[in-house]
């Protein structure tokens, strides 16, 4: 799980030119997390195709420090964003417990 989190952070924080250009209108390659690479809490696989069509907020969760995200989560809820246009994704670091 630590590898998955590190990879996700690197993908989000590094400039896009490191990974090569993605022309406007083109879809990036699909990312699938399953098995040893990570998955859903219920054990099913996760695909980046699920991110299409909405703005997403990424929450990193250390189960021992889960309350740290409450202020951000509450502030977003208070805005009453359209749930069809706005979603959240959580990365849970199970190794941190």
Residue 30 in contact with residue 45, Cβ under 8 Å? Answer: no
Other residues' Cβ atoms within 10 Å of the Cβ of residue 25: 5
Inside any domain, residue 24:
no
22 occurs within a structural domain: no
Closest to 63 (Cα-Cα) out of 15, 4, 13, 1: 1
Name the domain count of the chain: 1
Domain that holds residue 37: 2-16+30-96
**What's residue 19's pLDDT?**
59
Query: pTM of this prediction?
Result: 0.56
Give residue for tokens 């924080």.
Answer: 13
Q: Is residue 48 part of a domain?
A: yes
Look at residues 88, 33, 85 and name the one whose alpha carbon lies nearest to residue 59: 88
Residue 83 lies in a domain: yes
- Reported residue count of the chain is 97
- Whether 23 maps to a domain, the answer reads no
Residue 89 domain-assigned (yes or no): yes
- pLDDT tens per residue across span 38-83: 767 787 888 888 888 888 888 888 878 778 888 988 998 999 999 8
């Amino acid at each position: 799980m630590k590898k998955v989190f590190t990879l996700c952070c690197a993908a989000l924080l590094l400039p896009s030119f490191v990974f090569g250009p993605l022309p406007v209108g083109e879809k990036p390659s699909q990312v699938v997390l399953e098995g040893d690479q990570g998955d859903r809490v219920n054990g099913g696989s996760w695909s980046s195709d699920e991110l299409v069509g909405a703005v997403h907020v990424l929450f990193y969760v250390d189960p021992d420090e889960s309350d740290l995200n409450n202020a951000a989560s509450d502030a977003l809820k208070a805005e009453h964003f359209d749930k069809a246009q706005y979603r959240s994704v959580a990365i849970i670091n199970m190794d941190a417990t």
